[in-house]
Chain A
């Protein structure tokens, strides 16, 4: 494919740069390059172009990627759920067991399930109201989600406070958390990462915060959000860190940034 009189094509040079030529072809290219300045310059240009593209892509994208804590927690929860479902799924019948026996066992199990669900129906219906005192969101349902925004852009915007969450979206949040239609008044659907810190208008970033919480309530969280935004905009805190900390555990973040174990604002009797 090569001779010292002719030049290498861009594709040949690219294949050589990417290490995609066979040893024999690579040897031919190398011996041609040793004698040809034009092709050496061209190869250098190709390498520079690749380098520029990779640098451009990393510079523009990597710093915008939200921390992996939330997505990682979500994946772990989903894997655990799947593993549980699979381990409790029906076992296969051994070949030695007759189908008639199999159907009999399955019918018996269905009867037991029906009776049990009838007995516990009342309990199951009550269950969400009994256990829901949502102070910290469930990380598998609300890992936090952000929009792509830089610190400069974020701080330039002054009215980025929590906007009203559409009713349909609120309903989906309540559904996810198993809250019955009569109960939503006891909750306020809140952003985990506030839009003032780049939080997204997304179900993964919304959770039903209990209105009855007396200590770690919405006012306390608002105070934390304001404080973190000030730190970010004054350059004392990295935006990604602020987002990660509030998404991981906002109460711990409050304790850390206010240097206290108890809220200093928003206490209710």
Chain B
């Protein structure tokens, strides 16, 4: 059943897709809307008899394109953004002592501001890799070359390493 398959994929990939969409200046509700549209599009395409060799890659690519469209439509700027921006103020704090907590909080804040300041392509590459996509899949989602993926990831990690004080 196509419907069961789509719902199964939704259960499996909703959270990874939401995490990826946190790299866009969208509110959480906008991201949820994008995901609904993506799975409806998948349903349509499966019902039309299309087969997808890599459904996960297809879903990320569709989510990426729809998120860009939604962003362009809404014209929200990055300062008003939802998940990516909002988490900064609500950092989980597992460290035991107040000094450790403070240090942990500082590193997390630095990390967030570095991620926020990254060029979009670098950030998207990083988020996609964090969701377990291989370089080839990332290249397909973002429509860039394999070499660019490696380069963007290298740059992203260098930024993060500096923010973490290494």
Contact = CB atoms under 8 A, between A and B. Distances in A.
Interface in A132-167: 145-150, 153
Interface stretch (B55-63, B72-80, B149-157): B149-157
Interface stretch (A76-84, A227-235, A243-251, A252-260): A76-84
Interface of A: 10-11, 14-15, 18, 20, 45-46, 48-50, 52-54, 56-57, 59-66, 68, 71-72, 74-76, 78-80, 82-83, 86, 145-150, 153, 200, 202, 204
21 contacts: A10-B154, A10-B157, A11-B150, A11-B151, A14-B150, A18-B134, A45-B166, A49-B157, A53-B157, A56-B108, A61-B22, A61-B87, A63-B92, A64-B28, A65-B15, A71-B32, A83-B3, A145-B29, A145-B32, A148-B82, A202-B29
Contacts of B108: 56, 60
Given A11-B151, A11-B154, A204-B29, A148 B161 contact: no
Interface string B132-166: 00110000000000000011011001101100101
B103 interface: no
Nearest to B108: A56
Of all A-B residue pairs in the complex, the 4 with the closest CB atoms, nearest first, are A60-B87, A59-B92, A49-B161, A11-B154
A16 B161 CA distance: 18
Contacts, number: 122
Contacts of B150: 11, 14-15, 20
**Chain A contact residues, majority secondary structure:** helix
A40 B166 CA distance: 15
Contacts of B14: 68, 71-72
Contacts of A57: 19, 127, 130
Given A60-B108, A74-B36, A148-B83, A79 B43 contact: yes
Nearest to B18: A65
Given A75-B7, A79-B43, A83-B3, 16 more contacts: A10-B157, A53-B126, A59-B94, A64-B90, A65-B28, A68-B11, A68-B14, A71-B14, A72-B14, A75-B10, A76-B7, A78-B40, A145-B32, A146-B28, A148-B86, A204-B29
B83 A82 contact: no
Given A64-B83, A71-B32, A53 B130 contact: yes
A79 B90 contact: no
B114 to A, nearest CB: 10
B11 A82 contact: no
B15 A10 contact: no
Contacts of B35: 71
Contacts of A75: 6-7, 10, 36, 39-40
A153 B90 contact: yes
A11 to B, nearest CB: 5
Given A14-B154, A14-B157, A60-B87, A72 B130 contact: no
A240 to B, nearest CB: 13
A78 B157 CA distance: 40
Nearest to B44: A82
| Residue of A46, A50, A53, A66 with most chain B CB atoms under a 10 A cut-off | A53
A18 B3 contact: no
